[in-house]
Structure 1
Amino acid sequence: MNHTLSASIVGALARAGRYCWDNSESPAVISARAAVDRAEPWTRRDVRLHSSRFPADLTFTYAGPGKYATYFMPFLELRRSQLAVPPGPSEADADSLVDTDIMLELHVGGPPKPVRTGEAAAPRFLLPSRLQFVVPTTPRQQGILPGLPRKVRQSLARQRVRHDRDLVITNSAEKFHDFYYNYYLPTMESRHGPAARGVDPGTAYGQIFKRGALFLLTEQKVPVAGMACRLEPRTRTLRTRLFGVSGGEISRYLDDATIDLNVRILEWAASNGYDFVDLSTSEPFASKGTFQFKRKLRPIVTPARNHFSRKYVTLSILRDRPAVRSFLAANPIVTLSPDGTLQPISFHDTDLAPPASISVNAAGLRPELRVDLDELFGTSTN
């Protein structure tokens, strides 16, 4: 066996191991990952990232293992910027915590011990680190999924005819590489910019495409969007993983071609012996675009089932200010109740209400709990 072939095999095995380490739902792998997370030296190199050094601005602080900051800070920065507060994360020292408005702490291995709350205690919520969206399918289901909202079904039926849409399923390596470089990567760049957490080409090809298929949505025979999916016959699960639109065109990402592709994949899974479609994960904030999009496909929402199932987030609201209230009202959260169920919480006061465009209704979630900010803080707006 020559050196090049040996290196290729070793690389493939390493990528397979890494994929399993990051994505497996096996209790044994999850327990091993939790043990390593607690023991590895990097877990002791916790960081504190500040969203701003300007005390007058809305300020977030993330505390926990540095490698996981990217799962939270970019989203918080985006939502903060939409409140007209300048973004710009920077490292913070311990003394700067006094300027923090909202603090997120990531706990590895298990949830933190409950704190004894008193009159002066800051409001504190326990969140799952990630939410997972899984759609159970109906065998031999025909046509547009009946579980979808009626308006969505009607719109998709019209658009399928108007744009002459079709679904192409391929195992062509050439088409996959075209999709990866001309659809997936540009879409990741358009959506996330420098904060994108993309899958490297070797893992994408060997652990997703080669273990599944590429689904392409065409309009008049021309591909406009695609999804590389991993197929797991043993658990009868299809996992949607790499999504992209032609050229990463953001208008195409936002139109109904995206939901049409997902619906067609659900239909294909239902007709081909797959009982579950895993739509991947999202942050525990209902204002996240992926949360709202995936909710339309009528999934069951659970805490993430991979290693993130052993990671927890506490969100502490350290100061009561108008910018803090605005952020909380605009960004409902999904919390973990003491019994392990998922509790959506939205915030309001006499002047603020959650956006009408954000819904927290989904299977797997308890009915929405609406929290009055005046009662939460025990005071009126400062």
Structure 2
Amino acid sequence: MIRTSAVAAWERAKFAWDGSGNRVLATARHLADTAVAGRTDWQVFRAGPLRIGYGGYRAGQSHVLPFLRERARAAGLPTGPVTEEPAGHPFPDVDVLLLGCSPRRAAALPSTAAVVAPFRVHLVLPTTEAGRPRPVVVSRKERQRFARERDRRGWELEETRSGADLTFFYHRMHVPTMARRHGDDARSVGLRTARDSILARGVLFFVTENGERRAGMLCRRDAAGRRLTLRLAGVLDGAAEHYDSGIFMATYLLITRWANDRGIERLDLSGTEPFLSKGILQFKRKLHPRVELPPNHFARKRLWLGVRRDTPAVRDLLAANPVLVLREHGRIEAVYFHDARRPARTDLRWGGLGLDAARYVNLDEFLAGLPSDGGPR
């Protein structure tokens, strides 16, 4: 019993260390990460003709690196294994380099052919305005689909804090969904942490279809009870049919209404990498959240993206992945890269995210002066 209690206490402490919004704890975590970052080896992989490298904060190895590999595969590029190169200078010999670093270091790095992004962003949905419930803002098409399918399928929201229900959700919904969506790159918290650090301070929701549980989300409330954060999600057995039915979007809509009714002020839809090509970001954009810096140590971290060579593959990568960039006074804007052969990916929309602006950057100007192979761009 003593050993079990010690393990539980350790896991609760680790959970707080990893994601607490407490200012003192978040600052301590950031300083500790920054001290270690310079000694972390570079992670390098090949994607077709590209060599892409990541270095700095170790968290990027489970956030930034899998995203880059997924985007390379989405572009049809074969990806090789990740290899390590020694930390420190000089930078590894790559075409595109990303570095997780402090704001101070980001400001000292080269600004030519480079941008500075938040290390991560959160999508936050205000659920009240002027003290009153804020209507759920989705397109007319989404509202009509939700109403139609809710009547046809009998969708209802179920609220529970049962440990047995959590076990069912974790093993039958969350784990299979993460495996289906992310494969070997899937990451999550353990069941004990989900129970002791999330459910103990939150609530588990199921959406039932004609009385049968089909989707679920585990959420955590902050100490003041004004912010509800969506932490774990899934559909039954990770089955694609439940995404096709629209029940995943219905889960967000029903939880938002639940939050409205209880005076919760902000619904945190959780974090993501700072790229408009991130699929979950585009999905959640339909709810019209606001892009914000995370409410924990990630708010103090930056992602420097620098290009080392001007090649067609580099241009393809940049044009296909518009990035969220930090500007003065903490403003966040969307940057779309383009050139004569590669139009800006405006199908990856920035509207509805509460961003300050969008900027269109010509790759001929952005990459001017970099070495190239001399071929057509």
Q: TM > 0.5 between the two?
A: yes
Deviation string 1:218-262 (CA, Å, 9 cap, x unpaired) is 111111100011123614111111101000113423542111101
Please give the residue correspondences for 1:214-293 in structure 2 after superposition, counting only pairs within 5 Å. 214-232=204-222, 234-253=224-243, 255-293=245-283
Cα RMSD (Å): 2.3
Deviation of 1:176 (Å): 1.2
How far off is 1:89 after superposition? 3.4
Tell me which amino acid in the other structure corresponds to 2:236: S
Q: Does the CA contact (< 8 Å) of 2:338 and 2:363 recur in 1? A: yes
Counterpart of 1:19 (choices 10, 15, 40) is 15
Alignment counterpart, residue 348 of structure 2, candidates 323, 338, 358: 358
User: CA separation in 2, counterparts of 1:307 and 1:253?
Assistant: 32
> Which residue of the other structure, out of 101, 120, 124, is the alignment partner of 2:114?
124
Q: List structure 1 segments (4+ residues) > 6 angstroms apart after TM superposition.
A: none
Range with bigger deviation, 27-36 or 186-195: 27-36
- Structure 1 residue aligned with 2:303, among 283, 295, 313? 313
Structure 2 residue aligned with 1:32: 28
What is the rounded CA distance, in whole Å, between the counterparts of 2:244 and 2:144 in structure 1?
Answer: 18
Q: Is the 8 A contact 2:337 2:363 kept in 1?
A: yes
- Check 1:151–1:21 CA distance in 2 against 1; reply closer, same or farther (3 A cut): same
Is the Cα–Cα contact under 8 Å of residues 47 and 65 in structure 1 kept in the other structure? no
| Sequence identity (%) | 33
Answer yes or no: is the 8 Å Cα contact 1:51–1:60 preserved in 2: yes
1:72 aligns with 2:68: no
Is 2:316 aligned against 1:326?
Answer: yes
Q: Counterparts of 1:251 and 1:356 in 2: how far apart (Å)?
A: 29
Residues 220 and 230, structure 2, Cα contact 8 Å, conserved in 1: yes
Matches within 5 A, 1:85-104: 85-93=77-85, 99-104=93-98
Corresponding residue pairs, total: 368
Distance 1:375 1:254, change over 3 A: farther
Aligned mate of 2:5, from 6, 9, 13:
9
Equivalent pair of 2:172/2:237 in contact (CA under 8 Å): yes
In structure 2, the CA distance between the partners of 1:312 and 1:96, relative to structure 1 (3 Å rule), is closer
Deviates more, 1:105-114 or 1:254-263: 105-114
CA deviations over 1:36-56 (Å, ceiling 9, x no partner): 2234xx44431111112x8x6
* CA–CA distance in structure 1, aligned partners of residues 366 and 106 of structure 2: 21
Shift of 1:85: 1.2
- Give the superposition deviation at 1:125: 0.4
Question: Hey, what's the Cα distance between the residues in 2 that align with 1:273 and 1:64?
Answer: 40
Amino acid at match of 1:206: D
Q: Is the 8 A contact 2:119 2:273 kept in 1?
A: yes
> What do the CA deviations read for 1:188-213 (whole angstroms, capped 9, x no partner)?
11111111111111100111112211
Q: Secondary structure at the match of 2:167?
A: helix
Assess if the C-alpha contact under 8 Å between 1:223 and 1:246 holds in 2: yes
Structure 1 SS opposite 2:158: strand
Tell me what 1:201 maps to. Answer: 191
Take 1:325 and 1:109, find their aligned partners in 2: how far apart are those partners?
A: 26
Asked if 2 retains the 8 angstrom alpha-carbon contact of 1:37 and 1:108, the reply is no
TM-score, with structure 2 as normaliser? 0.91
Q: Secondary structure at the match of 2:18?
A: helix
Q: What secondary structure does 1:223 align onto?
A: strand
CA contact (8 A) 2:136 2:253 kept: no
Structure 1-normalised TM-score? Answer: 0.90
Residues 260, 140 of structure 1: CA spacing in aligned structure 2 closer, same or farther, 3 A cutoff? farther
